[in-house]
């Protein structure tokens, strides 16, 4: 009998381990959190920040770290400028995307590819606070003492190909996203951490101009 209880206990603890990110518990008052999150995010007109991106290749015990600057402006304008250890510029301006990689420039309409559009929307959704209303993902919310964690599971087969889950960590003090972790099925992941965040400073539209 004790053995059966032990097996049940192990199974239950195993299941809860899978269901909940380590160190987090389900948000106690989910409607309140969503309301608060949407309210603060709704007031976020611009974000200017530095970022550090870490690509972890688990099987190779390898980490590729890159750094750069990040600009966001409502609605749907994003500029990510990588400057270490390589130069790469990506601008998303509504339905258009511009990439400058070395001397090469590339302009794409994200309307031409649904998948492309879904992938690019992820970061905008995370910082704009529209993650809960994005039909491409199923969102769950967790919390610990200082942060909330929104776990996004892709709903479509095409997105599942790229991601197992995407975790967005929100600072409880200001309801802003501080970290985005994109987990692949292989165990590899990409973590983007935002530092030196400046909220609602004036950012001219020219920063996001696609010429």
Partner 1 sequence: MRYLLLSSCIFLLAGCSSVYKNLQPATGDINDLQKFKPDFKDVLYKAEIDVVGHHLSGLLLIKTLPDSTIRMVFSTETGYKFFDFAFSPDGGFKVFYVVKQMNKAAVIKTLKKDFELILLPQKNYKSAYLRKDDSNLYYIFPKSKGSFCYITDLKGTEMKIMEISSPHKPIVQAMMKDDFNGVPDTIGISHKNFNFTIGLKKIER
Residues within the interface to partner 1 (CB under 8 A) = 53, 55, 57, 59-60, 62, 64-66, 80, 82, 85-86, 88, 90, 99, 101-102, 104, 106, 119, 158, 161-162, 182, 184, 186, 188, 190, 192
Residue whose CB is less far from partner 1, 182 or 203: 182
Residue whose CB is less far from partner 1, 161 or 198: 161
Write out the H or E segment, with its range, that includes residue 144: none
At 77, list the tokens: 């304008």
> Shortest approach of partner 1 to residue 155 CB, angstroms?
17
Residue whose CB is less far from partner 1, 28 or 60: 60
Rounded Cα–Cα distance for residues 12 and 151 (Å): 21
CB 194 within 8 A of CB 179: yes
> Shortest approach of partner 1 to residue 59 CB, angstroms?
7
Place of tokens 């539209």: 205
> Shortest approach of partner 1 to residue 181 CB, angstroms?
11
- List the Cα angle 124/208/53 in 5-degree steps: 50
> Shortest approach of partner 1 to residue 183 CB, angstroms?
11
Which residues are CB-contacts of 47 (< 8 A; sequence separation ≥ 6)?
70, 71, 72, 127, 176, 194, 197, 198, 199
């Amino acid at each position: 009998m004790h053995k059966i209880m032990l097996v049940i206990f192990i199974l239950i603890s195993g299941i809860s381990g899978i269901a909940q990110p380590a160190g987090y518990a389900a948000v106690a008052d989910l409607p309140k959190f969503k309301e608060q999150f949407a309210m603060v995010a709704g007031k976020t007109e611009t974000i200017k920040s530095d970022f550090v991106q870490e690509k972890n290749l688990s099987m190779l015990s390898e980490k590729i770290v890159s750094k750069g600057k990040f600009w966001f402006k409502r609605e749907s304008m994003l500029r990510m400028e990588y400057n270490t250890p390589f130069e790469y510029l990506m601008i998303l301006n509504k339905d258009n995307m511009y990439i400058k990689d070395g001397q090469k420039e590339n302009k794409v309409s994200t309307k031409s590819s649904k998948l492309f559009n879904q992938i690019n929307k992820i970061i905008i959704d995370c910082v704009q606070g529209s993650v809960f209303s994005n039909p491409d993902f199923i969102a769950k919310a967790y919390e610990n003492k200082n942060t909330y964690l929104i776990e996004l599971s892709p709903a479509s087969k095409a997105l599942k190909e790229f991601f197992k889950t995407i975790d967005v960590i929100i600072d409880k003090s200001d309801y802003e996203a501080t970290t985005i972790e994109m987990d692949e099925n292989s165990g590899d992941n990409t973590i983007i951490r935002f530092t030196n965040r400046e909220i609602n400073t004036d950012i001219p539209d020219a920063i996001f101009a696609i010429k």
